[in-house]
Structure 1
Amino acid sequence: MSLFELFIIAVGLSMDAFAVAICKGLSMGKISIKKAGIVGLYFGTFQGGMPLIGYFLGVRFHDKITSMDHWIAFILLVFIGLNMIRESRNYECENEDDSISDKSMNDSLSFKNMSVLAIATSIDALAIGVTFAFLKVNIIPAVSFIGIVTFILSMIGVKIGNAFGNKCKSRAELIGGLILIFMGFKILLSHIGIINF
């Protein structure tokens, strides 16, 4: 897997965290680099950690399913992508009051509050880790890259949410879902020899 492909997947995966970071920024009266950094650190750490767990699960069962690994990668990426697109339809945050009233979207940066949000936004990355095992991706640089991309985008999301509200949250989810679906098709078509890029 090329660095560019990894970057595309990292951006796609980070859209969940980016979208939640936008709402987090909306709920904060006044933000600082430190607060944005804390949000980014939680999301980046969990987004990088989940694929690592998925990778070791995938490696454990890789020998049993090698002949269909490209189909599994395709199904997982498309499933995650479609799920993100479906969620984007539920993220119409045009009504500011609805977003703020959500209990998880308060301005707390407590371990409990942030851990719940970070786990919720990184579950999809667990399946990506399984896919990485099938594709024999060098996992440590890959998860580090995903974590860093998510960290940066989450910090940006907090700033955007604080400055402009979270009207673009649904768009972030939609774009992330489309990216992952595209990568799923690319992996499948490459593996069966229809395309070669």
Structure 2
Amino acid sequence: MTFTALVFLALAMSTDAFAAAIAKGAALRSPTFPQALRIGLLFGCIETITPVLGWALGSLAADAIRQWDHWIAFVLLLGLGGRMIWLSFGSDEEEEEEGGKQNLLVLVLTAVATSIDAAAVGVGLAFVDVSIVHAALAIGVATTTMVTIGVLLGRRLGAVVGRNAERIGGVVLVLVGTTILIEHLSA
């Protein structure tokens, strides 16, 4: 996987967390940078761990299905990207939080929910030539950055940008999967 593909993958993995951060930021009256950064770090840490867990599971089966690895990565990324695009056209479920205060449990559950796709991507990455450490760190840094920005922008931008971010992220995942498939078929 090229550096550019890795950067796009990291950004794509952070878009659903970015969308969630916009919603969280919109719930806060006036989020401060330290608040936004703490939320960003929480999401980023969880998003760093989940692809490694997925990769570990995928690595166990890598030798058995190496001849199909590029197709597996393509199908997983196509499915995840398609799912993100599909969900971006759905209606938002409003979350009510008392007094606009961020509940740690709600934040952790949201972070885990938005990182499940990163675990599935980690499974796909077990079948391609990529350092999982670099990929996980790139995804974690991108998520930390995007969530911090999302919280700060949430009050002003609302759900419109969040939905567009999810659509773009879905398209990027489909493109990364297609690139992996083309690279392996042309090799």
TM bin (shorter chain): over 0.9
Contact 1:27 1:105 in 2 (8 A): no
**Aligned to 2:31, what secondary structure does the other structure show?**
coil
2:103: which partner in 1?
A: 110
Amino acid at match of 1:75: V
TM-aligned CA deviation for residue 106 of structure 1: 7.8
Q: Distance in 2 between matches of 1:105 and 1:89?
A: 28
TM-aligned CA deviation for residue 163 of structure 1: 2.4
Alignment of 1:70-149 (within 5 A): 70-91=70-91, 99=94, 102-103=95-96, 107-149=100-142
2:164 to 152, 171, 175: 171
Q: Percent identity?
A: 36
Amino acid at match of 1:7: V
TM-aligned CA deviation for residue 130 of structure 1: 1.0
1:20: which partner in 2?
A: 20
Give a deviation string over 1:65-112, Cα, whole Å, max 9, x none.
111000000000000000000110014x6xxxx63xx24798343331
TM-aligned CA deviation for residue 133 of structure 1: 1.0
The TM-score, its normalising length taken from structure 2, stands at 0.94
**Aligned to 2:48, what secondary structure does the other structure show?**
helix
Q: Distance in 2 between matches of 1:81 and 1:187?
A: 14
**Aligned to 1:29, what secondary structure does the other structure show?**
coil
Q: Distance in 1 between matches of 2:150 and 2:23?
A: 8
What value does the CA root-mean-square deviation take over the aligned residues? Answer: 1.8
**Aligned to 1:135, what secondary structure does the other structure show?**
coil
Give a deviation string over 1:89-142, Cα, whole Å, max 9, x none.
014x6xxxx63xx24798343331111100110000011111111113111122
Q: Distance in 2 between matches of 1:104 and 1:73?
A: 38
Q: Distance in 2 between matches of 1:42 and 1:107?
A: 18
Give a deviation string over 1:16-51, Cα, whole Å, max 9, x none.
000000111100012111110111012111111110
Q: Distance in 2 between matches of 1:88 and 1:31?
A: 25
2:6: which partner in 1?
A: 6
Contact 2:33 2:152 in 1 (8 A): no
Contact 1:39 1:109 in 2 (8 A): no
The TM-score, its normalising length taken from structure 1, stands at 0.89
2:56: which partner in 1?
A: 56
2:153: which partner in 1?
A: 160
Structure 1: segments with no counterpart, 5+ residues = none
Q: Report how many aligned residue pairs link the two structures.
A: 187
2:181 to 165, 188, 191: 188
Structure 2 residue 29 is the aligned partner of structure 1 residue 36:
no
TM-aligned CA deviation for residue 158 of structure 1: 0.8
Structure 2: segments with no counterpart, 5+ residues = none
TM-aligned CA deviation for residue 164 of structure 1: 2.8
- 1:170/1:128 Cα in 2 relative to 1: closer, same or farther (>3 Å)? same
Amino acid at match of 2:141: I
Which 4+ residue blocks in structure 1 deviate beyond 6 angstroms? none
Q: Distance in 1 between matches of 2:182 and 2:173?
A: 14
